Structure 1
Amino acid sequence: MCGKMGAGKSTFAKSLAMSCEAALLSEDDLLRDLYPGEVIDLASYATLSGRIKNALAGHICVLLRRGVSVVLDFPGNTVAQRSWFRQLIDRAGSHHQLHYLSVPNEICKQQLRERRATNAHDPLQDDATFDALLAYFAPPTPEEQFVVILHERT
């Protein structure tokens, strides 16, 4: 998944997994279940996310090699984040799709506000975090060699 914070990646991932009868792995769910209350800032997120990726990489590759479709609800919003996807794809020798949700900033921020109203315990669902992360956001490029499926919302 690629798309700015609040673009709807998790909602889309759930729908995609159901429609394809695929296994869904959600970084947000794993962080919440494995590290409750420990994601308090971007540094703790990066550390804990890295642990999850390291732990899951081999398992994901086994699933892919056995023909199980896997939807990864992990952000691929930077070249570095997408390099993890590329490593999995290459290691497993699997086909892939990178779904890119292109959504205007104001819609993302509005969706974050709506999410915060129903999920107030997440400290990183605010405009300040959105703005900070936006500086690092990079859409996928042809050089990365992903099969990109673009979903534009205006």
Structure 2
Amino acid sequence: MNTKSTLFFFCGKMAAGKSTLARQIAKEYNAILVVEDELLVQLYPDEIVDIPSYIKYSPRLRTAISSHVSDLLSRGISVVLDFSANTINQRKWFRGLFEKANAAHRLYFINATDDLCKRQLKERSKNQSESAFASDTVFEEITKYFQPPSEDEQFNIVVYDRS
């Protein structure tokens, strides 16, 4: 196993604190931080306006960066991916990256209550010009797909309990 590099990734409901933790981990481990939301805004400005458009464009981004991330990991460079790992299928993509690079991994699971997430979502939306994803309705719609990681998936899980 390539112990010189680690892939760090995150599971948690919308507004649970994944991006904040991702920035902290990147700084702590001197790792490359790649932020899905920032890349999607740059690549597809004004095109991601709802859940179906996110579902359309997000896999394209993942495909585009997969080889690059695996290459960084295989060269001993740790990577923090601030991308959603909230479903079993999404987590399969992360597994493919660290297995291809023979790198270590850590899945940070942020366990937060719906109420906490909704409060943080409202607070976050005050500071953003785009608040299309900042409603309780959107939170409920996205949360329907949420699947916490299980032991069966055999990830190295670090739990942050915020409930």
Q: Establish whether TM, by shorter chain, passes 0.5.
A: yes
What is the aligned-residue RMSD (CA, Å)?
0.9
Give secondary structure in 1 for the equivalent of 2:22.
helix
Aligned residues: 154
Q: TM-score, normalised by structure 1?
A: 0.97
Alignment partners' CA distance in 1, 2:54 and 2:87: 15
Asked if 1:147 is matched to 2:122, the reply is: no
Q: What displacement does 1:44 show?
A: 0.7
Q: Which residue of 2 aligns with 1:38?
A: 47
Paired AA for residue 7 in structure 1? A
Tell me by how many angstroms 1:123 deviates.
1.0
Pairing 1:64-79 to 2, within 5 Å after superposition: 64-79=73-88
SS at match of 2:103: coil
The amino acid of 1:72's aligned partner reads: L
| Match status 1:93 vs 2:102 | yes
Q: Which residue of 1 aligns with 2:5?
A: none
Query: Following TM superposition, by how much is the alpha carbon of 1:34 offset from its aligned partner in structure 2, in angstroms?
Result: 1.2
Paired with 2:80 and 2:112, the residues of 1 have a C-alpha distance of 20
SS in 2 for 1:100: strand
Matched, 1:12 2:40: no
CA drift of 1:137 comes to 0.7
Once the 2 structures are TM-superposed, how far is the Cα of residue 133 of structure 1 from its aligned partner?
1.3
Distance 1:114 1:46 in 2: 25
Higher normalized strand content (fraction of residues): 2
1:60 is the counterpart of 2:100: no
Which residue number in structure 1 is paired with residue 6 of structure 2? none
* Structure 1 residue 125 displacement after superposition: 2.1
Higher helix share: 1
| 1:121 and 2:130 matched | yes
Letter in 2 for 1:81: Q
Q: TM-score, with normalisation over the residues of structure 2?
A: 0.92
Partner Cα separation in structure 1 for residue 122 and residue 68 of structure 2: 35
Question: Structure 2: 5+ residue runs without aligned partners?
Answer: 1-9
Give the drift of 1:35. 1.1
CA displacement at 1:113 relative to structure 2: 0.2
Paired position in structure 1 for 2:146? 137
Q: Distance in 1 between matches of 2:45 and 2:117?
A: 25
Q: Distance in 2 between matches of 1:81 and 1:100?
A: 14
Aligned 1:17-32 pairs, distance under 5 A: 17-32=26-41
